[in-house]
Amino acid sequence: MRALAVGFARVNYEYRSGAITIEALQKFWRSDIKEGALDIVRQNIGHTDRIVINLLNDEAVAVQQDYAELFRYSDEEKPDHLPALLTESVKRRAKKPSSALFSETLRKAMDGTIGG
């Protein structure tokens, strides 16, 4: 929960069930976090049957959820059926790749300049 409290998202892939679970604090659910999670989903789309998104409050209680069952679709169709919470308002950032955003967020978290 500590990492979530400073703006990180947790992405868990369960190999046996083909499920990806994404958790983040609702107040930090913004385009760069969505983009990073979406990149992970895209990289694993062929092995993913279900996606669950849980947005939490500061007490770690789910206040917003979204879900998609992808096993019904071919790998080519799966990207068209991702949860709306994951795909809405995602803007591609030409100036910074996801890895640079992650590094910058990690640095800020370590410095204590975010999530105070």
**How many domains are there within the chain?**
1
Cα angle value 103/31/38 (rounded, 5°): 80
Over residues 47-78, the pLDDT tens digits come to 999 999 999 999 999 999 999 999 999 999 99
Residue 2 confidence (pLDDT): 83
Determine, yes or no, domain membership for 93.
Answer: yes
What is the predicted pLDDT for the residue at 80?
94
Residue 101 lies in a domain: yes
60 within domain boundaries: yes
Separation CA 93–CA 91 (nearest Å): 6
Look at residue 116 and tell me if it is in a domain. no
pTM above 0.85, yes or no: no
What are 11's two structure tokens?
A: 């992405």
Q: What is the dihedral of CA 21, 89, 1, 96, to 10 degrees?
A: 100
Tokens of 116: 């105070």
User: Taking Cα atoms as reference points, which of 4, 37, 24 lies closest to residue 109?
Assistant: 4
For residue 7, give the 3-state DSSP assignment. Answer: coil
Nearest C-alpha neighbor of 19 from the set 56, 57, 71? 71
Is residue 115 assigned to a domain? Answer: no
pLDDT for the residue numbered 107:
65
Tell me the pLDDT of the chain (116 aa) as tens digits: 788 988 889 999 998 999 999 999 999 999 889 999 999 999 999 999 999 999 999 999 999 999 999 999 999 999 999 999 998 866 444 444 555 665 666 666 666 665 54
Domain that residue 70 falls in = 2-108
pLDDT of the residue at 100: 61
